Amino acid sequence: KQEVTQIPAALSVPEGENLVLNCSFTDSAIYNLQWFRQDPGKGLTSLLLIQSSQREQTSGRLNASLDKSSGRSTLYIAASQPGDSATYLCAVSSDNAGNMLTFGGGTRLMVKP
């Protein structure tokens, strides 16, 4: 059974810092990995999708990498801003689990002005 872990569970940084969020998964047989942002009381917003054949994806200040063989992904946020404060979730789509997305527990990020 696929398991996804996110470290750290919570992170507080001053504005302007570059930061890295980590995601690991136990079964490397994945279709893709997706990073989401969730604001309190809101739905999930898709940030980046990395296909299993890709190594990284970039969108603005966000860069996500994927090392499928080692079961790891990182989300890099450059020059963090208070508006980046949210919970960040990673999820993998596994080819042995049909269409199911398996989610990590999330990293709750607070960026202080």
Partner 1 sequence: DAGITQSPRHKVTETGTPVTLRCHQTENHRYMYWYRQDPGHGLRLIHYSYGVKDTDKGEVSDGYSVSRSKTEDFLLTLESATSSQTSVYFCAISVSQGGAEAFFGQGTRLTVV
Contacts with partner 1, residue ranges (CB under 8 A): 31-32, 34, 36, 42-46, 49, 51-52, 89, 91, 93, 95, 98-101, 103-106
Going by their DSSP bridges, the two strands 101-103 and 86-94 should be labelled as antiparallel
- Pick between residue 4 and residue 80 the one whose CB is nearest to partner 1: 4
- Pick between residue 14 and residue 98 the one whose CB is nearest to partner 1: 98
What backbone phi and psi angles, to 5 degrees, belong to 88?
Answer: -110, 130
Q: How far is the CB of 65 from partner 1 (least distance, A)?
A: 18
Q: How far is the CB of 89 from partner 1 (least distance, A)?
A: 7
- Pick between residue 36 and residue 80 the one whose CB is nearest to partner 1: 36
Length reported for the chain: 113
Cα separation, 19 vs 41, whole angstroms: 24
Please, are residues 23 and 72 in contact by the beta-carbon 8 Å criterion?
yes
